[in-house]
């Protein structure tokens, strides 16, 4: 055997020597995951005694090579060493990709740069795992609220929806682990069904730049990703336990991950969160408890250039809605508003009664990718989601207490194929196609007319985004997306409304059947939407970067905007949609100037968003019904302009002290009526002083100040209601925003080593230190009760 | 690699199956007749002598765009006592559902209120009681004074605070409210 080998070697050597030996082998060393270049990698040509290092751009070069096959060992301190075979028969260019895996254990801080950018010319804000860890018992909306430019639309304190640069609901797209959340969140009281404990990091993109995901993100996009799992033999996990005084509850969340060097990995995660009635400074907010459960599991196989992953998650949340907010008609509203305190205050309890929501969300995803030489990375993904939403109102008959007033089941299935090319030096192209089928079923056994009708929706999308590096510092990105939507609904209209709206003359062809006082119709609507983005990024030097971006976003009207018709009990108002709506089209321009520095850093992000056919819901009249007078809120389309600026700044005094500042301002104007837009976030600023000391157990103490100004620009939608008791008309003030307020919070945490591989992190926090009474303009329950009072919480995290 | 290919193929196959499995079925959904709606409030006032007066407010489309229709059988006589009763119906169902029966059954959670405007010489007394001795108001008496005109408002509250001194401190939610323009002559 040995003789043979020697002979072959000898022959090959002779053969090789007879060839020309002036070829070069050049290329780059690249990170497999995010395509960043890896400088300082060592390449050893086995058996040849040649060793080179990759330079600052990740480039390497071997010269004077002969024709033949060489073995290269590529070594980089952060990566697994790999051996590649290269055949040389001319000057050859070859890039090598290394598995750049993370040392997750004992190093929970994930560097944002590890995750690839979602867009290259849109300024992105990130929330890291470490920041997320402080919010284990909060909602996704609360976490995002800490970023400049993000506020929240609340229904009490458990239903929190993010508002990005002034717009919300279906204008804010949430991509959860690669899957667009389809969770009936078109209304204000539908919060995203995501457990923050399943999230590894969050990227916020203000603007519709990430066309890969969707074209209708008029406000922006929230991309959450699971923590990355290293390719090595290891097992690790972490457990969070939190307790809080306000709500007298807490949460427990645990994750366990096992991975193997051969690429297989698996991870399970579970969370349980239970709170009773929350408390305002002066009283209990009766029926505001919540009970959240979630479980998620991942199994996958990650090899050098291909892999597959399956993910399943289950999320269930029961949320109590402030009892005092459930009212019937304008005269009740007058009493509630005038009283200044909730009309129903009961003793503290963990029970959750009507009105309440019960939301269940299943998500299943399977995804595979393959890196194809000279083409790029091909990804195929299929996902299935089921969202079941039950809303229980206070019913007249107590026999019906356990019967939901709203019972919707939304099933969505999406398949997508994406291609990311990355082999060229200057030009990157991302392209793909997706198809989605969605079906909503509204259960008629509620005995309440459907708020959202039965419908099927089909969406086909195709996109392409390319970025070109004009110079090393100057990058241009352009992209376009086309989406086709078809909605096929089965909607019962009340005959009186059908005729009142003239639909009987406009849409006689869609009537399927006429019943005594209802009309069954079959609206079939098509929308073809184009979205686009054009952006640049220019890096002046190591410190300063400027981003400029234009994005065109088109959003098809959602079913509530099209079909709403009737009394929305939880809002105590009549809501009316319009079948005649067109797609909303937004042109957003934004510039961000960013300075990164050791001492001082900032980003300034002014923007303007022109939204044509902007769909808003606004009061239009008072309707007399047998239940009393109700305000009618009607969806209408208008041309709106949103203008604003978000500022972030941080100042590091020394190793131990730093200060940060955030400021957001947005002005919304209705161009058609020449009035301010309703529900625009008031100006707010957040400032914090942080003390950190690595010597004292990584101690971190943060004093945070939150100041929210009064919203002075609002449309006046007040109305008068007849009050029988006093025989008079009284003003129902639903417009005037609450006063400005200032809150102070204190957060502390420290690390303690338990053993070689396990660590305990203890955090203690107080929010609203001075127990300040306040109400928030964007909380829909502000008419009825104050917001949360002081809260002490303790947060224990064990990593092992 | 082989495993990977199999997984992808499986994914495609599953997708195909699911998509076809869920292909559109155009079965018409069942209509919902609103069960908790109150369409009609009728107050009947019977004097010892003379004609009975009925006051009806009917809103057949509930919270739809049509306003309630009022029907008042005649004027009230001055300085007269009436025995009053109230009936609330859901007339979207056939036969109409008598919701007063449900109110009586769950008497602790309901109460009728009767308010006359200051210009109207009319007082309401002797409301019948619930099982705990608080006002329920499905029956009552009305006493008129001198000739006058004004509004007479009937309100049905759900889950009011009991006892109470009137709408002002009863809280709860309005289930029905009818404002009648009444003439005493």
| A446 with B102: Cβ contact below 8 A | no
Q: Provide the total of helices (H) and of strands (E) in chain A, helices listed first.
A: 7, 46
Q: Which residue has the higher pLDDT, B27 or A458?
A: A458
Q: How far apart are CA B171 and CA A301, in angstroms?
A: 61
Please work out, in degrees rounded to the nearest 5, the angle formed at the alpha carbon of residue A627 by the alpha carbons of B32 and A285.
95
Which residue in the block uniquely carries the two structure tokens 């709506």?
A581
The pLDDT score that the predictor gives to residue B137 is 94
Residue to mutate among B21, B39, B62, B64, with most A CBs inside 10 A, is B64
Chain-chain contact of B62 with A343 (C-beta, under 8 angstroms): no
Query: Rounded to a whole number, what is the distance in Å from the CA of B65 to chain A's nearest CA?
Result: 6
Q: Scanning every residue of chain A, which has its alpha carbon at the shortest distance from the alpha carbon of B92?
A: A517
Given an 8 Å threshold on Cβ–Cβ distance, is B34 in contact with A500?
no
pLDDT in tens, B82-111: 999 999 999 988 889 999 999 999 999 999
**Per-residue pLDDT at B10:** 52
**Pairwise pLDDT comparison (A317 vs A112), residue with the higher score:** A317
Cβ of B64 within 8 Å of Cβ of A497? The answer is yes
Q: What is the pLDDT of residue A286?
A: 94
- Cβ(A467)–Cβ(A120) under 8 Å? yes
Buried b (16+ CB within 10 A) or exposed e, A105-130: beebebeeeebebbbbbbbbbbbbbe
For testing contact with chain A, the best of B29, B112, B118 (most A CBs within 10 A): B29
Give the percent of chain A with pLDDT over 90: 53
Strands (E), A626-653: 628-652
pLDDT: is A449 or A659 the higher one?
A: A659
Which one of B65, B104, B122, B152 makes the best mutation probe of the A interface by having the most chain A beta carbons within 10 Å?
Answer: B65
The span from the CA of A755 to the CA of A753, in Å, is 6
Neighbours of A739 (CB within 10 A): 12
- The pLDDT assigned to A755 comes to 87
What was the pLDDT predicted at A142?
87
Whether residues A496 and B66 touch (CB distance < 8 A) is answered with yes
pLDDT digits (tens, 9 = 90+) for A286-321: 999 999 999 999 999 988 788 999 999 999 999 999
Mutation target vs A (from B40, B113, B162, B174; most A CBs, 10 A cutoff):
B174
Interface of A with B in 561-620 (CB under 8 A): 566-567, 574
pLDDT tens across A31-52, in order? 765 667 787 788 888 777 788 8
Which of B8, B38, B173 lies at the smallest CB-CB distance from A327? Answer: B173
Q: How far is CA A44 from CA A32, A81, A199, A490, in A?
A: 20, 11, 39, 68
Closest-approach residue (CA) in chain A for B90? A626
How far is it, in rounded angstroms, from Cα A481 to Cα A211? 6
> Min CA distance, B75 vs chain A (Å)?
20
Query: Is the Cα dihedral A33, A592, A208, A411 positive or negative?
Result: positive
Q: Which two tokens stand for residue A285?
A: 């907010």
Facing B92 at nearest CB: one of A326, A395, A517 = A517
Query: Which residues of B fall within a CB distance of 8 Å from A726?
Result: 168
**C-alpha to C-alpha distance for A131 and A199, rounded to whole angstroms:** 11
Contacts of B166 in chain A (CB under 8 A): 725
**The pLDDT of residue A444 is above 60:** yes
Burial A177-216 (b: 16+ CB within 10 A, else e): bbbbbbbbbbbbbbbbbbbbbbbbbbbbbbbbbbbbbbbb
Dump pLDDT digits (tens) for A727-740. Answer: 888 888 889 999 99
Say how far apart CA B184 and CA B81 lie, in whole Å: 12
Which residue, A586, A704, A666, A545, is CA-closest to A170? A586
pLDDT in tens, A697-749: 999 999 999 999 999 999 998 888 888 778 888 888 889 999 999 999 999 99
The pLDDT of residue A672 is above 70: yes
A vs B: CB pairs below 8 A: 186
- Poorest-confidence range of A176-180, A362-366, A373-377, A574-578? A373-377
What's the pLDDT band for A84 if we cut at 50, 70, 90?
A: confident
In 3D, which of B177, B176, B98, B86 has the Cα closest to residue B136? Answer: B86
Interface confidence: ipTM more than 0.85: no
Distance CA A255, CA A296 (A): 9
Q: What is the pLDDT of residues A353-390, one digit of tens each?
A: 988 999 999 999 999 999 887 788 899 999 999 999 99
Interface of A with B in 298-357 (CB under 8 A): 301, 303, 306-308, 326-329, 331-332, 335, 343-344
Over pLDDT 70: what percentage of chain B? 86
- Residue A172 CB burial class (10 angstroms; 0-12, 13-18, ≥19): buried
User: Residue B56 pLDDT more than 50?
Assistant: yes
Q: For residue range B141-172, what is the model confidence (pLDDT) as tens digits? A: 999 999 999 999 999 999 899 999 988 888 88
* Mean of pLDDT values over A546-559: 93
CB atoms within 10 A of CB A707: 15
The confidence score (pLDDT) of residue B7 equals 52
As to burial, measured by CB atoms within 10 angstroms (0-12 exposed, 13-18 middle, 19+ buried), residue A629 is buried
A454 touches chain B (CB under 8 A): yes
pLDDT for res A570: 64
Cα angle, residue A581 at apex, residues A579 and A583 outer, rounded to 5°: 140
Task: Compute CA distances A20 → A62, A480, A776, B168, whole Å.
Answer: 15, 49, 78, 103
DSSP state for residue A39 in the 8-state scheme: T
Token pair in block for residue B175: 């289930």
Task: Give residue-wise pLDDT tens across range A596-613.
Answer: 888 999 999 999 999 999
d(CA A217, CA A321): 29
> What is the DSSP code string of B129-184?
B-TTSSB--SEEEEEE-SSEEEEEEEEEEES--SS-SSGGGT-SEEEEEEEEEEEE
Residue in B24, B30, B106 closest to A488 by CB: B24
- Alpha-carbon span A148 to A151, nearest angstrom: 8
The H-or-E segment that residue A187 falls in is none
Report the chain B residue with the minimal C-alpha distance to residue A512. Answer: B28
Question: What is the model's pLDDT at position A716?
Answer: 92
Distance from CA of B90 to the nearest CA of A (A): 11
Q: Out of A84-93, A467-476, A555-564, A786-795, pick the least confident.
A: A84-93
Q: How far is A727 from chain B (nearest CA, A)?
A: 5
Q: Name the residue in chain B with its Cα closest to that of A625.
A: B63
Neighbours of A717 (CB within 10 A): 15
Closest CA of chain B from A302, distance in Å: 10
Q: Do B63 and A396 touch (CB under 8 A)?
A: no
With beta carbons under 8 A apart, name residues in chain B contacting A720.
none
- Residue A654 CA to residue B114 CA, distance in Å, equals 72
For the whole model, what pTM was predicted?
0.83
* Pairing mode of beta strands A234-244, A249-259: antiparallel
**Preceding peptide of A644 cis, ω within 30°:** no
Q: What are phi and psi of A601, to 5 degrees?
A: -140, 150
CB-based contact, A515 to chain B, within 8 Å: yes
Scanning A698-737 for CB atoms below 8 A from B yields 722-727
For residue B16, which residues of chain A lie inside 8 Å, CB to CB? none
Locate the chain B residue with the closest alpha carbon to A442. Answer: B29
Is pLDDT above 60 for A582? yes
Most A CBs within 10 A among B164, B177, B180, hence the mutation to make, goes to B177
Q: Is the pLDDT of residue B69 over 60?
A: yes
Residue A80 confidence (pLDDT): 67
| Per-residue CA distances from A732 to A558, B94, B152 (Å) | 30, 37, 22
In this complex, do A724 and B167 lie within 8 Å of one another by their Cβ atoms? yes
Q: What are phi and psi of B171, to 5 degrees?
A: 55, -140
Report pLDDT for A158: 84
Residue B24: what pLDDT?
Answer: 44
Q: Residue A11 above 80 pLDDT? A: no
Is residue A72 a contact partner of residue A46, using CB atoms and an 8 Å limit?
yes
Query: Roughly how many angstroms between the first and final C-alpha of chain B, as a whole number?
Result: 96
Contact present, A403 and A447 (Cβ < 8 Å)? yes
């Amino acid at each position: 055997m040995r003789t043979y080998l020697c002979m072959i070697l000898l022959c090959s050597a002779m053969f090789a020597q007879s060839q020309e030996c002036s070829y070069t082998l050049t290329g780059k060393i690249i990170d497999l995951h995010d395509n960043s270049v890896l400088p300082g990698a060592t390449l050893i040509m086995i058996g040849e005694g040649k060793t080179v290092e990759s330079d600052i751009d990740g480039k390497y070069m071997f010269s004077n090579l002969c024709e033949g096959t060489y073995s290269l060992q590529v070594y980089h301190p952060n990566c697994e060493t790999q051996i590649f075979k290269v055949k040389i028969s001319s000057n050859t260019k070859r890039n090598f990709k290394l598995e750049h895996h993370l040392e997750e254990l004992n190093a929970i801080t994930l560097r944002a740069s590890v995750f690839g950018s979602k867009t290259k010319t849109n300024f992105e804000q990130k929330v890291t795992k470490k920041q997320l860890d402080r919010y284990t018992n909060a909602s996704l909306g609360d976490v995002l609220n800490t970023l400049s430019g993000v506020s929240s639309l609340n229904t009490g304190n458990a239903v929190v929806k993010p508002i990005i640069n002034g717009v919300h609901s279906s204008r804010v797209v949430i991509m959860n682990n690669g899957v667009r959340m389809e969770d009936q969140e078109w209304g204000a009281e539908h919060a995203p069904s995501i457990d923050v404990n399943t999230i590894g990091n969050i990227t916020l993109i203000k603007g519709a730049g990430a066309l890969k995901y969707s074209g209708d993100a008029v406000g922006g996009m929230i991309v959450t990703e699971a923590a990355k799992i290293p390719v090595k033999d290891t097992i690790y996990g972490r457990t969070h336990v939190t307790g809080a005084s306000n709500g007298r509850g807490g949460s427990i969340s645990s994750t366990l991950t096992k991975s193997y060097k051969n690429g297989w990995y698996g991870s399970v995660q579970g969370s349980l969160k239970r709170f009773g009635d929350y408390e305002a400074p002066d009283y209990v907010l009766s029926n505001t408890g919540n009970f959240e459960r979630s479980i998620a599991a991942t199994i996958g196989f990650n090899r050098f250039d291909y892999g597959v992953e399956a993910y399943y998650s289950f999320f269930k949340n029961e949320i109590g809605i402030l009892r005092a907010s459930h009212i019937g008609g304008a005269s009740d509203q007058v009493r509630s508003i005038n009283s200044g305190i909730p009309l129903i205050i009961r003793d503290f309890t963990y029970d959750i009664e009507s009105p309440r929501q019960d939301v269940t969300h299943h998500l299943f995803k399977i995804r595979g990718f393959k890196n194809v030489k000279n083409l790029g990375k091909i990804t195929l993904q299929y996902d299935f989601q089921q969202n079941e939403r039950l809303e229980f109102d206070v019913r007249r008959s107590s026999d019906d207490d356990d019967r939901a007033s709203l019972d919707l089941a939304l099933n969505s299935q999406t398949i997508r194929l994406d291609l990311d090319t990355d082999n060229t030096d200057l030009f990157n192209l991302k392209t793909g196609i997706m198809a989605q089928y969605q079906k909503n079923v509204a259960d008629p056994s509620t005995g309440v007319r459907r708020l959202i009708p039965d419908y099927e929706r089909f969406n086909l999308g195709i996109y392409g985004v390319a970025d070109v590096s004009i110079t090393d510092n100057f990058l241009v990105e352009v992209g376009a997306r086309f989406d086709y939507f078809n909605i096929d609904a089965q909607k019962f209209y009340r005959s009186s409304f059908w005729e009142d709206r003239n639909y009987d003359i406009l849409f006689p062809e869609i009537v399927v059947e006429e019943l005594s006082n209802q009309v069954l119709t079959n609206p079939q609507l098509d929308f073809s939407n184009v979205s686009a983005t054009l952006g640049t990024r220019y890096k002046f030097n190591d410190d300063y970067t400027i981003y400029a971006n234009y994005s065109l976003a088109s959003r098809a009207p959602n079913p509530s905007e099209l079909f709403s018709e009737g009394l929305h009990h939880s809002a105590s108002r009549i809501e009316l949609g319009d079948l005649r709506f067109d797609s909303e089209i937004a042109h957003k321009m934004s510039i961000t100037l960013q300075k990164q520095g050791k001492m001082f850093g900032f980003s300034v992000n002014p923007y303007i968003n022109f939204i044509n056919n902007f769909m808003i819901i606004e009061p239009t009249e008072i309707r007399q019904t047998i239940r009393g007078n109700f305000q009618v809120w009607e969806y209408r389309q208008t041309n709106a302009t949103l203008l604003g600026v978000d500022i972030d700044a941080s100042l590091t005094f020394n190793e131990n002290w730093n200060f940060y500042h955030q400021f957001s301002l947005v002005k919304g104007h209705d161009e058609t009526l020449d009035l301010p837009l309703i529900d625009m976030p008031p100006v707010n600023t957040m400032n914090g002083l942080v003390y950190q000391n690595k010597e004292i157990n990584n101690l971190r103490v943060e004093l945070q100040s939150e100041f929210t100004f009064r919203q002075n620009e609002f449309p006046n939608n007040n109305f008068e209601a007849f009050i029988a008791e006093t025989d008079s008309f009284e003003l129902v003030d639903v417009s005037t925003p609450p006063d400005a307020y200032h809150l102070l919070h204190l957060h502390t945490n420290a690390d303690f080593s338990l053993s070689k591989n396990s660590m305990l992190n203890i955090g203690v926090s107080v929010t609203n230190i001075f127990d300040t009474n306040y109400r928030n303009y964007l909380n829909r329950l502000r008419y009825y009760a104050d917001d949360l009072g002081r809260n002490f919480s303790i947060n224990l995290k064990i990593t092992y | 690699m082989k495993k990977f290919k199999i997984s992808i193929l499986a994914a495609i196959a599953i997708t195909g199956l699911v998509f076809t499995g869920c292909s559109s079925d155009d079965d018409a959904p069942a209509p919902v007749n609103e069960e908790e709606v109150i369409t009609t409030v009728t107050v009947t006032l019977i004097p010892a002598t003379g004609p009975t007066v009925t006051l009806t407010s009917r809103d057949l489309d509930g919270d739809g765009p049509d306003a309630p229709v009022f029907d008042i059988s005649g004027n009230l006589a001055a300085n007269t006592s009436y025995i009053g009763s109230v009936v609330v119906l859901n007339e979207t169902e056939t036969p109409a559902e008598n919701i007063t029966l449900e109110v009586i059954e769950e008497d602790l959670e309901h109460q009728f209120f009767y308010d006359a405007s200051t210009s109207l010489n009319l007082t309401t007394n002797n409301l019948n009681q619930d099982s705990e001795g608080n006002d329920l108001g499905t029956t009552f008496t009305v006493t008129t004074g001198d000739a006058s005109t004004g509004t007479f408002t009937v309100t049905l509250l759900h889950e009011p605070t009991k006892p109470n001194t009137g709408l002002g401190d009863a809280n709860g939610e309005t289930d029905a409210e009818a404002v009648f323009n009444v003439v005493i002559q």
